[in-house]
Amino acid sequence: MRIGFIGIGAMGNPMAKNLIDAGFDVTVWNRSGEKCQPLVAAGARQADSPAECATADVLITMLADDAALDAVLREHDLIGAMAAKTVHVNMATVSTATAVELAQRHASAGKAYVAAPVLGRPDLAAAAKLNIVAAGPADAIEQARPALGRIGAKVWPCGDEPVRANAIKLATNTMLVSAVESMAEATAMTAAHGIEPGDFLEIITSSIFSCPAYLGYAPAMEKRDYDNPQGFKLRLGAKDIDLALTAAHAGNVPMPMSATARERLAEAMAAGDGDKDLSVLAETARRRANV
């Protein structure tokens, strides 16, 4: 199977590497071309333009946001460059409005489109343990499944409308940010009563909150080490909550907890913590509580 992969960032790099290691014929492209070199050394071919990736059996895009994806699609006429039987799998987190537009643009051109955002951080991407939420035509998902199966631990089909996958991803990230914020606040509260953060975090993550959302962020909170290159940058969490709130408002769905969590992220970014791991919310809570 031939795979075209566009977007070699913190997530895209290990995802593409897993495809190469699995023996797929992988062609890669990134706006900053030097980021492709480690993948070329591993066996990929570097394309001169995104259009060269578009004629593969499966075209995967993993770009930073709506604007980056739209720029590549328009500047390089990526949909037009797709072969008749190519399936475009967009694995990035985008807005629900963009999700609907992308599905319409592909349908108008007679091309197959699947939304398949991932649940997990770069460390899980490297281990091929991502969860992939896929929505789109069933036959298109099946065509892409061999590749998706090498990227993640499980594929979760969720219907034939691509926007459903993006709604699930945004909803999941709002829950994640709220979970990390609640853990940060609880850690600050117990610290005010003389309890070491590590002791409190060990109790909760070894008992009723023994799940990835808490286990993944507790170690950084305990060590007060928030510069994890494999982490989830706080500013990206803010971007995702903004997208989720916009989607919610479009459907008159109130999300007061998410709105409050977004304010905490704004507070952290104002303190210069936007490029740190999401667990840095613990420092925001400590500053607020003066502990």
Please give the angle made by the CA atoms of 251, 95 and 4, to the nearest 5 degrees: 145
Task: Read off the pTM.
Answer: 0.95
Tally the residues of the chain: 291
Confidence of residue 273 (pLDDT cuts 50, 70, 90): very high
Residue 180 has what pLDDT? 98
Please give the angle made by the CA atoms of 126, 155 and 13, to the nearest 5 degrees: 25
For the domain covering 2-160, report its CATH number.
Answer: 3.40.50.720
Q: What fold, for 167-289?
A: N-(1-d-carboxylethyl)-l-norvaline Dehydrogenase; domain 2 (1.10.1040)
pLDDT digits (tens, 9 = 90+) for 96-119: 999 999 999 999 999 999 999 999
Residue of 17, 169, 233, 276 marked active site: 169
Residue 284 has what pLDDT? 97
State percent of the chain over pLDDT 70: 100
Kindly list the domain boundaries of the chain, sorted by start residue. Answer: 2-160, 167-289
pLDDT digits (tens, 9 = 90+) for 12-68: 999 999 999 999 999 999 999 999 999 999 999 999 999 999 999 999 999 999 999
Phi first, then psi, for residue 58 (nearest 5°) are: -130, 125
Residue 131 has what pLDDT? 98
pLDDT digits (tens, 9 = 90+) for 218-229: 999 999 999 998
Q: CB of 93 within 8 A of CB of 166?
A: yes
Residue 59 has what pLDDT? 98
Strand partners, 46: 28
Q: CB of 182 within 8 A of CB of 175?
A: no
Residue 225 has what pLDDT? 96
Phi first, then psi, for residue 155 (nearest 5°) are: -105, 130
Tokens for 230? 């494999």
* Active-site residue, 276 included: no
Q: Do domains 2-160 and 167-289 have the same CATH topology?
A: no
pLDDT digits (tens, 9 = 90+) for 76-100: 999 999 999 999 999 999 999 999 9
Strand partners, 112: 87
pLDDT digits (tens, 9 = 90+) for 185-198: 999 999 999 999 99
